[in-house]
Amino acid sequence: MAKNDLQGTLDLLVLKTLADNGALHGYGIVLHIQNASGEVLRVEEGSLYPALHRMEQNGWIAAEWAMTETNRRAKYYKLTAAGRRQLDIAQESFDQLVRGVRAVLRYA
């Protein structure tokens, strides 16, 4: 059974975002997901930050304080090698979930 909870999906979104954009701060991640999903997905900050910290503890992403273009200090996250592997796993897992859900919907 694939790991298909919603937290896993959030992880996937964040990992994919960081894989495509290099280093981003939390706000940047929220904006990117919002834009990339055509305003369909809106990530809650209350979920995002715990997820970011958990992924950091797991060693999937690394964080670093830096200045933004607007000259504010912000914590930037970027993908690690372990995170890249995790992205593959999460992607596969998500694909499986989608296939499963599709199959059920078709059957019904």
Site residues (vs other proteins, CB under 8 A):
25-27, 44-46, 49-54, 57-59, 68, 70, 72-75
Phi–psi pair at 68, nearest 5 degrees:
-85, 175
Q: What is the C-alpha separation between 17 and 7, in angstroms, rounded?
A: 15
Contacts of the segment 29-33: beta carbons below 8 A, 24+ positions apart: 29/77
Q: Which is nearer to other proteins, 70 or 106 (CB)?
A: 70
Closest separation between CB of residue 82 and other proteins, Å?
Answer: 10
Please, is 106 exposed, middle or buried when counting C-beta atoms within 10 Å of its C-beta (0-12, 13-18, 19+)? exposed
Closest separation between CB of residue 10 and other proteins, Å?
Answer: 12
Closest separation between CB of residue 107 and other proteins, Å?
Answer: 36
Q: What is the C-alpha separation between 48 and 44, in angstroms, rounded?
A: 6
Q: Which is nearer to other proteins, 36 or 96 (CB)?
A: 36
Q: Which is nearer to other proteins, 53 or 102 (CB)?
A: 53
Q: Which is nearer to other proteins, 73 or 106 (CB)?
A: 73
